[in-house]
Amino acid sequence: MITVNSSTRQFTIPGADLVFGVTADSGSEKKYFQCPRYVGNNVDLAGSFVRINYRNANGEIDFHLVEDLAVEGDNVTFRWELHPKVTMYKGQVSFVMCVVGADLKVKWHTTLGRGQVLEGLE
């Protein structure tokens, strides 16, 4: 599970989660996240819009809107099912977590996290 430090805004990514798949993977990889429920100036993730903005190894930028955010005590958990665009090219994938408050005026971001798409043959 990838964890988010709300103070440093950095991800802790275990070794097994550093691999995002192999080129041409489609719907076969999910990354699981845990983050404190309250971030920044007391922004409640349970009442916010959360997305993962990413840049694939070819430099193309897109996002994943989190739809399964669950409150677990003082934390929230969610998953990112990797879209084929994430694994379209071998190399480094960069991503951030973006939180937009319910009033759409407050935004909170993490710093870059990184994963690797490995070379395949398709």
31-89: per-residue pLDDT in tens?
Answer: 999 999 999 989 999 999 999 999 999 999 999 999 999 999 999 999 999 999 999 99
Instruction: Give this prediction's pTM.
Output: 0.94
Residue 115 sits at φ, ψ, to 5 deg, of -140, 175
What pLDDT score does 101 carry? 87
DSSP string covering 52-92, please?
EEEE-TTS-EEEEE----EEETTEEEEEEEPPTTTTSSSEE
d(CA 61, CA 107): 19
Longest dimension (CA), the chain: 47
pLDDT score of 93 more than 90: yes
What pLDDT score does 46 carry? 94
Q: Are 30 and 60 in contact (CB under 8 A)?
A: no
